[in-house]
Amino acid sequence: MPEHTFILNGERVTVDIEDDVRLLWVLRDVLGVTGPKYGCGLGVCQACTSHLNGRAFTPCCVPVGELAPGDEVTTIEGLPATVGAELHPMQEAWLEFDVAQCGYCQPGQIMAAVAKVRQAREAGREIGEADLDEIRNICRCGTYHRIREAITAAAKRY
């Protein structure tokens, strides 16, 4: 079976599995990293959103064979370490606004939010209503309003 090596939450990992298995299943079923959730496997619901080299992506849509040894995958479990803290400021804002209900989509929501803030900054502006409208992550509990509040507040703090 082919071997695949990449960096997961700051640590080098190697897995033996077929090339075409999507990264989500490698994370969840092989490596036991369960922060990224399954919601569709179609790149639609965005519940598995994580970061690949600092950019938001859906691991359900990336065959593990496409990862190179230098690729850095960050899941919700590894997000705090990217800022060297117990929690990322986005997670702190999520607690402050008590965003989560069932919580199933929230790891993906937070990872998407961090990327949206970065994306807006790269475009030379702070995150606004139009950016928030672009977030595709589904929350079936309907926490959308608090997600907007939390992102807007967090963006002012880091």
Partner 1 sequence: MAGVGRRRFLGYVLAASTLTVAAQVGEAGEAAAAVPSLPEPADLYDLNDMLTDAALPTSGLITVQVHEDGTASLALPRAEVGQGVTTSSAMLVAEELELPLEKVRVTLADARPELLFNQLTGGSNTTVSTFTPIRVAAAVARGRLLAAAAGLLGVPLAGLVAKAGVVGAPGGRSVTYGELAVRAASGVDVAVSVALKERAQFTVIGTPRGRADALAAVTGRKQFAMDVKVPGALPVMLCRPPTINGTVRAVRNADAVRAMPGVTDVAVVPTGVAVRARTFGQCIDAVRALQVDWGPGTEDGASDESVLKELRAAELPLVVPPLPLLTKAVDARFTFHFASNSALETNCAVADVRADRAEVWASLKSPIVAQEKIAARLGLPPTAVTVHVTEGGGSFGRKLFHDAALEAAEVSRAMGKPVRLMWHRTDDFRQGRTHPMATSRVRATYSLGQVLSCEQRHTSVATDFGHGLGEIITAMAAKLPVADLAFSETMFALTQQTPYDFGVTTQLLSEVDKGFNTGSMRGIYSPNVRTAQELVVDRLAAGTGSDPYTFRRRFLKEDRARAVLDKVAELGDWGRTMAAGTAQGIALHPEYHSVVAVLAEIDCRPQTTGRTVPDAYTGPRVTKVVCAVDVGLAVNPRGLEAQMQGGIMDGIALALSSGLHLQDGHFLEGSWDNYFYTRQWNTPPELQVVVMPPTTGSPGGAGELAVAAAMAAVACAYGRATGTMPTVFPVNHGGPLGFEPLPTVPPVPQSPTDGRTRAY
Cα distance between residue 105 and residue 52, in whole Å: 19
CB 146, min distance to partner 1, A: 7
CB 71, min distance to partner 1, A: 9
Q: How far apart are the first and last CA of the chain?
A: 44
Nearer to partner 1, 12 or 61 (CB): 61
CB 131, min distance to partner 1, A: 10
Both tokens of 5, joined, read 């090596």
| 3-class SS of residue 15 | strand
Pairing between β-strand 72-74 and β-strand 3-8 as defined by DSSP bridges:
parallel
